[in-house]
């Protein structure tokens, strides 16, 4: 068994930009190899130092030549090729002995990195894995606080070692560019930017993300001060546009809107991603206090809790905020369009003073759906939804609708079944339903479904005890085709006899 070769990217210089995976592999390796110039000081080792451990074998791979001349028979390239062969042989000896080898690389191993020369010579012979790293280009863009490209703009990465004329042609024909390998090449790089007519947009970054980082306009840089670990950036025309200091971003105030959001019946997992997104985007949250308490607090947002019986006032408040340019989420339990805030908001929005204020509704899982799902599929065939509240309609209308729904043999979902102010109405509704329904009709009572006090009971219309029901309950009255199976599951057949 041989060892495994890892090419590990360290990022642009800040040890905290070393990835979690890279740090783990560095600490676990038997051998850690890194390159350095003839002075022997390795930038890569310095970045990786916090992740090294005692007892590791270190292989310092010293370049025989960097920018100076050489008397090697093959010239500069011959000297470098010979060095890479020798370095690869040293690492191969460890791999043959079963030791894992990590080769450190500044930035990304495959982005102008020295590791690639080891990879070419060893990857076909040994198990190999390359761990990408944050590139110097990414680090430099973050240092100057400028996006490089936007939408369809093209980013071109160029080595500063190109002839000035060729470099200038590239710069003149691309939207954005990053020019690496500066140092002694800086004068010709600067000339290329000027020749391309983009020197005024160009930025300079030196030792990005380190404590010696330096940034400034490229035109202002003294060539004598430029080290190798620096680069030139040309942000794209679109991405490079940033507001002046002190000026708000954007073209002006965002248009306000009201979004009526359904949270679902209780459990947070029943809140849809669309609803969560609408809540997160809001400046203001408006709603009944207990419903607002179900939304995670965010200090950026203003919360406007109110009592449960002031729907019109709540709607007008939300619309007034939106008219001033605020993004307002009106929070509703369940689905906002089912006995909830959507209708109230739209009614008030129809008034002349709110003309032009956009209102949209984000649906939520209803209490009827949640209770039905807890027991099976009692809503598997035709059903209707009724509220027993007579706050907004006469009680005789409620009774008339109950009789018709019972006579039509529909499954009935009863909202607002019994409150402190209406303790008698569920009992009266039970009597009305028994005029057309058998006492053995299946009934499901769900309380606080999806909440911490969830309770679901399956009973019959004859045995239903109205005194056990409150406003946190939803009552499902089955049809003649609703059944309870041996496992306790409740369903209504999709086929009706006749």
Give the model confidence (pLDDT) of 462-477 as tens digits.
999 999 999 889 999 9
Helices (H), 324-448: 341-349, 367-375, 395-407, 425-434
Kindly state the DSSP code that residue 51 receives in the 8-state scheme.
Answer: G
Sheet arrangement for strand 359-362 = 302-306, 284-288, 327-332, 257-262, 359-362
Return all residues near 176 (Cβ < 8 A) that are at least 6 apart.
148, 149, 153, 154, 155, 156, 233, 234, 235, 236, 239, 240
Q: Is 212 exposed, middle or buried (0-12, 13-18, 19+ CB in 10 A)?
A: exposed
Q: How far apart are CA 399 and CA 416, in angstroms?
A: 14
- Most distant CA atoms of the chain, gap in Å: 110
Domains and CATH numbers, the chain: 5-134 (3.40.1010.10), 137-234 (3.30.950.10), 257-362 (3.40.1010.10), 368-492 (3.30.950.10)
Q: Find, among 308, 327, 317, the residue nearest to 348 by Cα.
A: 317
DSSP for 121-186 reads HHTTTS-EEEE----HHHHHHHHHT-----TT--EEEEETTS-HHHHHHHHHH-SEEEEE--GGGH
Task: Give the pLDDT confidence of 9-58 residue by residue, as tens digits.
Answer: 999 999 999 999 999 999 999 999 999 988 888 999 999 999 999 999 99
The pLDDT assigned to 68 comes to: 63
Q: How far apart are CA 115 and CA 81, in angstroms?
A: 13
Give the chain's length: 498
The pLDDT assigned to 252 comes to: 43
Q: How far apart are CA 181 and CA 402, in angstroms?
A: 82
Task: Give the pLDDT confidence of 411-451 residue by residue, as tens digits.
Answer: 999 999 988 888 889 999 999 999 999 999 999 999 999 88
Q: Tell me if 411 sits within 8 A of 492, measured CB to CB.
A: yes
The pLDDT assigned to 419 comes to: 85
The neighbouring-strand residues paired with 11 are 107
The pLDDT assigned to 307 comes to: 86
Q: Residue 234 corresponds to which tokens in the numbers above? A: 């040309």
Q: How far apart are CA 291 and CA 471, in angstroms?
A: 15
Q: How far apart are CA 194 and CA 431, in angstroms?
A: 91
Q: Tell me if 227 sits within 8 A of 37, measured CB to CB.
A: no
The neighbouring-strand residues paired with 32 are 58, 102
Q: Tell me if 29 sits within 8 A of 6, measured CB to CB.
A: yes
Return all residues near 144 (Cβ < 8 A) that are at least 6 apart.
203, 205, 215, 233
Q: How far apart are CA 191 and CA 326, in angstroms?
A: 50
Q: How far apart are CA 14 and CA 282, in angstroms?
A: 36
Q: Tell me if 439 sits within 8 A of 460, measured CB to CB.
A: yes
Residues of the chain scoring pLDDT < 70: 67-69, 240-255
The pLDDT assigned to 2 comes to: 94
């Amino acid at each position: 068994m041989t060892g495994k070769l890892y090419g590990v990217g360290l990022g642009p210089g800040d040890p905290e930009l070393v990835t979690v995976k890279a740090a783990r592999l560095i600490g676990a390796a038997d051998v850690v190899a890194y390159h350095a110039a003839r002075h022997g000081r390795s930038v890569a080792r310095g970045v990786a130092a916090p992740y090294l451990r005692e007892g590791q074998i270190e292989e310092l791979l010293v370049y025989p030549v960097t920018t100076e001349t050489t008397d090697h028979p093959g010239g500069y390239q011959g000297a470098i090729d010979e060095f890479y062969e020798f370095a690869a042989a040293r690492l191969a000896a460890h791999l043959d002995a079963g030791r894992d080898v990590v080769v450190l690389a500044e930035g990304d191993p495959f982005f102008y990195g020295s590791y690639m020369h080891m990879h070419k010579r060893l990857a076909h012979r040994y198990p190999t894995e390359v761990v990408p790293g944050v590139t110097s280009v990414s680090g430099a863009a973050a240092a100057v606080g400028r996006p490089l490209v936007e939408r369809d703009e093209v980013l071109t990465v160029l080595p500063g070692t190109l002839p000035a004329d060729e470099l200038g042609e590239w710069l003149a024909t691309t939207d954005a560019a990053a020019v690496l390998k500066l140092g002694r090449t800086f004068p010709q790089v600067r000339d290329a930017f000027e020749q391309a007519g983009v020197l005024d947009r160009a930025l300079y970054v030196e030792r990005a993300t380190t404590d010696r980082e330096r940034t400034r306009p490229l035109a202002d840089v003294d060539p004598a001060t430029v080290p190798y670990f620096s680069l030139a950036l040309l942000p794209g025309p679109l991405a490079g546009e940033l507001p002046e200091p002190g000026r708000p971003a954007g073209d002006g105030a965002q248009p306000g809107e009201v979004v009526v959001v359904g949270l679902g019946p209780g459990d947070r997992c029943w809140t849809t991603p669309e609803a969560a997104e609408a809540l997160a985007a809001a400046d203001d949250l408006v709603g009944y206090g207990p419903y607002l308490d179900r939304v995670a607090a965010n200090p950026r947002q203003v919360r406007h809790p109110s009592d449960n019986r002031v729907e019109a006032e709540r709607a007008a408040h939300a619309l007034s905020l939106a008219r001033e340019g605020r993004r307002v989420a009106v929070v509703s339990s369940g689905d906002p369009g089912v006995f909830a805030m959507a209708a109230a908001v739209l009614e008030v929005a129809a008034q002349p003073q709110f003309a032009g204020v956009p209102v949209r509704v984000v649906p939520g899982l209803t209490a009827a759906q949640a209770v039905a799902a807890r027991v099976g599929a009692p809503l598997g065939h035709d059903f209707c939804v009724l509220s027993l509240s007579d706050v907004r309609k006469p009680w005789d209308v409620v009774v008339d609708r109950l009789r018709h729904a019972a006579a039509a043999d529909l499954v009935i979902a009863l909202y607002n079944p019994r409150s402190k102010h209406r303790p008698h109405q569920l009992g009266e509704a039970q009597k009305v339903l028994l005029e057309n329904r058998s006492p053995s009709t299946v009934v499901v009572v769900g309380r606080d479904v999806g909440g911490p006090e969830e309770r679901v009971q399956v009973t019959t219309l004859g045995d239903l005890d109205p005194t056990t029901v409150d406003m946190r309950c939803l009552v499902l009255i089955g049809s003649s085709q609703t059944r309870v199976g041996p496992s306790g599951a409740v369903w209504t057949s999709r086929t009706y006899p006749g």
